[in-house]
Amino acid sequence: MEHCASFTTATWISSVMIGKARSMLASYNAAMTELQSLIDETFEEAVTALANLESVLIITGLGKSGLVGQKAAATFSSTGTPSAFVHPVEALHGDLGIVQQGSAMLAISKGGGNEETIEFARQYRSVVNGPVITLTEPGSRLEGLADIALHIPPLPEIDEWDLAPTTSTMTSMAVCDVLAICTQQSKDLTADDFAQFHPSGTLGKRLLLNVGDLMIAGPDLPIQTLNVSFADLVYEISSKGMGMVLITENNGELFGVLTDGDIRRLMARNEPVTTMTAAECFQASRRGDDLPKVDRGWTTADTKAIDCLTQMQVHQITSLVILEGQTPVGLVRMQDLVAAGL
């Protein structure tokens, strides 16, 4: 009986918590709907001011608003608007030196009555003739210092005592995110520009990384001329560990590619491979007298790595020869591209 009672109580508690969580999320949804109604021509003024910024965007705030500001500074910087978060207390004790002509300020405060943030905004105005953008509930003291006043809706937080910054931080962060992206779009930045700010991210790698940055080259490249012996071919394949060897003409131009799979198939057909040259092995592996050119399995070092991956997938191959003119200078395998995070 005790087990049943415990199970029933746990189920009831779980049901109550699920109901509370859903109610809180519904409150968030309502807050976002109300926030939309506060986006007007003033928001457009803020976007225009930030898009024409000549220097850095200074973002400030205290407490949870400061944490929102730190995230906003990262978002603005990553989307093409150089930004720095400056703590209002630290600003009043030396960090005001970061402020320079051509900058702008975004001051974040739920109620807009924080003395440190207000004083920092006042000092900023005395030092720089740049726009002050505030993000507060309507009618705040901080808003009185603004050139452009943005607002969040004056709604209760989602905790039962209306104390924990939740609804206010969520709406503030939403405004900052939308402001950053609208500013980015107003400057006609492209995906390539975005990649420049994220060189190590997935998008950066897709848009910036050339296959020349990843290719196997130099002494690690498995390569032999067409007249070498079968023994030399096998040694080159096994010693370089690539499972293949590039065969070149005597003038250095690409002749063909021979894989360890090609050699196994030749041996399975009882071909006299041990007496063959590289050219003869390649020819026999193609079952013909004509020596086909490598028409799908090559590219150049300046090709985007992501395009090489697509080329491999389309033609169902696992490696590409990198050519400079007709001379092989490198090799890239699908596993190399995948390992790079593409």
Q: How confident is the model at residue 198 (pLDDT cuts 50, 70, 90)?
A: low
Going by pLDDT thresholds of 50, 70 and 90, the confidence category of residue 104 is very high
- Of 141, 134, 143, whose CA–CA distance to 176 is shortest? 134
pTM of the model: 0.62
The CATH number that domain 31-189 falls under is: 3.40.50.10490
Residue 134 pLDDT greater than 50, yes or no: yes
The pLDDT of residue 205 is above 80: no
Q: Which fold has domain 211-339?
A: CBS-domain (3.10.580)
Q: Which two tokens stand for residue 159?
A: 């905790």
At residue 276, the pLDDT reads 92
Most confident among 75-79, 118-122, 241-245, 271-275 (mean pLDDT): 118-122
Q: Give the neighbor-by-neighbor strand order of the sheet with 244-248.
A: 223-225, 244-248, 254-259
In the predicted model, what is the mean pLDDT of the chain?
Answer: 86
* Cβ atoms 270, 247 nearer than 8 A: no
The yes-or-no verdict on residue 2 having pLDDT over 60 is no
Tell me what pLDDT residue 80 has.
85
Domain limits, the chain = 31-189, 211-339
* Confidence grade of residue 211 (pLDDT, cut at 50, 70, 90): confident
pLDDT at position 6, please?
A: 57
Q: Which tokens hold the place of 317?
A: 């191959």
Residue-level pLDDT at 29? 96
Helix (H) / strand (E) containing 150? strand 148-151
